[in-house]
Amino acid sequence: MAGVNKVILLGNLGADPEVKHLEGDKVVANLRLATTEAYKDRAGNRVENTEWHDLELWDGQAKIAEQYLKKGMQLYVEGKIKSDSWQDEQGNNRKRIKIRVLSFTMLGGKPEGSSPSGNTGNYNTPSSGPSPSVAEATVEDDDLPF
Partner DNA sequence: TTTT
**Contact set with DNA (CB under 7 A):** 1, 11-15, 32, 34, 36, 48, 50, 52, 71-72, 74, 109-111, 114, 132, 135-136
Vertex 78: Cα angle to 108 and 110 (nearest 5): 15
63 contact choice in DNA, a second copy, none (CB below 5 to 8 Å, kind-dependent): none
* Torsion 127-104-102-34 (CA) sign: positive
Q: Which of 15, 22, 26, 36 binds a second copy (CB under 8 A)?
A: 36
Instruction: Find all residues with CB under 8 Å of 102, minimum gap 6, and list them.
Output: 78, 79, 80, 140, 141
Please state, in angstroms and as integers, the Cα–Cα distance from residue 42 to each residue in 19, 45, 47, following that order: 43, 7, 10
Q: Applying CB under 8 A, which part among 9-17, 21-29, 58-66 lies near a second copy?
A: 9-17
Residue type, 141: D
Closer by beta carbon to DNA, 35 or else 103: 35
Q: Which of 41, 44, 83, 118 binds a second copy (CB under 8 A)?
A: 83
- C-beta of 4: minimal distance to a second copy in Å? 4
